[in-house]
Amino acid sequence: MRLSQRVGRISISSTGAVFAAAAQLKAQGVDVVDLSAGEPDFPTPSHVKRAAFEAIRNDFTRYTPTDGIPELKEAIVRRHARDFQSDYATREVLVTVGGKHAIFNLTSALLQPGDEVVIPVPYWVTFKEAVHYAGAVCRFVPTSESDNFRVTAAQIEPAVSPRTRLILLNSPNNPSGAIIREEEMRKIAELARRRDLLVLTDECYCHFNYEGSTPFSLASLGKDYRDHVAVVGSVSKTYAMTGWRVGFCLGPEPLIRAMLKIQSHCTSNANSIAQKAAVAALSGPQDSIPDMLREYGRRRSFIVEKLNAIAGISCNRPDGAFYVYPNLRGLLDSRRLKNPSDLALQLLNEARVAVVPGEGFGTRDHIRISYATSMEQLEKGADRLSRFFGNG
């Protein structure tokens, strides 16, 4: 079948592909330890579920305004103001079908063929594809593994050209967990203002950092930077609500209106029941977050130690999120494997452990392991890896 050039420019999500392969094996009764999925293994908090039941009971099951119900837009603005000292108005919010949808709306609304987008490496798989789908070009910026992959303004600046329209940041980062330092964030914002660019800051993991302080949000910089910052957020990871599909974008009003235009012909509103649940998540008790973070912290320590005990693997201690991004160059060389994809395939087929190869995130020496899975699964996975690599 002849398909559009546009769709030919992108590939299916590599994280989704591993997830599907692992699910297929599991459906055949194979005991796979799945360390590929980027989603909390915790249940959605009960008060959130109750709000959804209530919405169904009250027949809150019709179309809503495309940009989201007013009480959710208010809850998003209030939560963000409380957590990050921002001061958005509800007209500067768009409720979307997950954070991913917000990114897609934004790149579609902002970019023209030939425009350039600066993206630090490693990056979340969807960034590159959303940019390519819009016909724009990615300018990748390598970060330093010895500095835990934290990008700096000095690394970004040389990649900015007269064609640059957007800088795409994600802190804490998927897959590396890197949290960009506040002083670097400020310098990047200054650069964006000077060069009249937009910075899209993906804050989907903003509540998951292990040193106790909240990562810095560019939205707290105030009015002078207003036209140069857009925030993407989501209830998916923060409240263990990946399946509910609610995210949002906060940004300059003309951009939000343009994104709304696209959304009005695509998905329309996010699910009405899920929107009510998201109101409860953002406005209700927040204690599920520190509980999850404590548990992720325990798992992080465990998996980092286990991986570093395997000869040929070196694993940084991530600043945030719930992934580790170990470097396997030593192992790839000693096993004469061409790339992490070959290794990931071996791990799935022989060790029965699902991980995501680093190519999809822009590097060739790494795999991504998610520790958003039970300690029991993590222990089993670590044992299988150690045995497979001859260290067990």
Which is closer to ligand PLP, CB of 241 or CB of 332?
Answer: 241
CA distances from 67 to 121, 134, 183 (A): 32, 22, 33
Q: Are the C-beta atoms of residues 159 and 120 closer than 8 Å to each other?
A: no
> What is residue 295's three-state secondary structure?
helix
Binding mask 323-362 for ligand PLP (x = CB under 6 A): ----------------------------------------
Scanning residues 113 to 152, which ones bind ligand PLP (CB under 6 A)?
Answer: 124
CB of 28 to ligand PLP, least distance (A): 26
CB of 260 to ligand PLP, least distance (A): 18
Centroid of chain to Cα 181: 18
Quick one: which segment of 61-69, 93-101, 108-116, 181-189 binds ligand PLP (CB under 6 A)? Answer: 93-101
Which is closer to ligand PLP, CB of 124 or CB of 389?
Answer: 124
Residue identified by tokens 């520790």 is: 371
CB of 174 to ligand PLP, least distance (A): 4
Which position among 40, 99, 318, 320 is part of the footprint of ligand PLP (CB under 6 A)?
99
CB of 103 to ligand PLP, least distance (A): 7
Q: What's the order of all strands across the beta sheet hosting 356-357?
A: 323-324, 367-370, 356-357
**CA gap 17, 29 in Å, rounded:** 19
Quick one: which segment of 92-100, 273-281, 356-364, 379-387 binds ligand PLP (CB under 6 A)? Answer: 92-100
Quick one: which segment of 62-70, 96-104, 178-186, 325-333 binds ligand PLP (CB under 6 A)? Answer: 96-104
CB of 316 to ligand PLP, least distance (A): 18
What pairing do the DSSP bridges indicate for beta strands 229-234 and 353-354? unpaired
Quick one: which segment of 57-65, 98-106, 179-187, 350-358 binds ligand PLP (CB under 6 A)? Answer: 98-106
**CA gap 340, 357 in Å, rounded:** 5
Among candidates 140, 102, 374, which has minimal Cα distance to 248? 102
Among candidates 148, 125, 134, which has minimal Cα distance to 14? 125
Among candidates 156, 168, 96, which has minimal Cα distance to 132? 168
- Looking at residue 221, what DSSP letter applies? G
Q: Are the C-beta atoms of residues 280 and 71 closer than 8 Å to each other?
A: no
Q: CA 101, 241, 107 angle in degrees (round to 5)?
A: 15
> What is residue 117's three-state secondary structure?
strand
**CA gap 124, 128 in Å, rounded:** 8
Quick one: which segment of 94-102, 180-188, 300-308, 361-369 binds ligand PLP (CB under 6 A)? Answer: 94-102
Q: Find the residue with minimal CB distance to ligand PLP.
A: 98
CB of 110 to ligand PLP, least distance (A): 17
CB of 178 to ligand PLP, least distance (A): 12
**CA gap 359, 373 in Å, rounded:** 23
Scanning residues 15 to 54, which ones bind ligand PLP (CB under 6 A)?
Answer: 38
Binding of ligand PLP by 174 (CB under 6 A): yes
Q: Which class for 31: exposed (0-12), middle (13-18), buried (19 or more C-beta within 10 A)?
A: exposed
Binding of ligand PLP by 100 (CB under 6 A): yes
Binding mask 215-254 for ligand PLP (x = CB under 6 A): -------------------x-x-----x----x-------
**223 CB neighbour count, 10 Å cutoff:** 7
The 3-state secondary structure of 196-210, one letter per residue: CCEEEEECCCCCCEC
Binding of ligand PLP by 204 (CB under 6 A): yes
Which is closer to ligand PLP, CB of 174 or CB of 316?
Answer: 174
CB of 351 to ligand PLP, least distance (A): 24
Which position among 68, 98, 120, 381 is part of the footprint of ligand PLP (CB under 6 A)?
98
> What is residue 157's three-state secondary structure?
helix
- The site that binds ligand PLP (CB under 6 A) totals a number of residues, namely 13
What pairing do the DSSP bridges indicate for beta strands 137-142 and 116-121? parallel
CB of 144 to ligand PLP, least distance (A): 20
CB of 286 to ligand PLP, least distance (A): 18
> Which spans of this chain sit near ligand PLP (rule: CB under 6 A)?
38, 98-100, 124, 170, 174, 202, 204, 234, 236, 242, 247
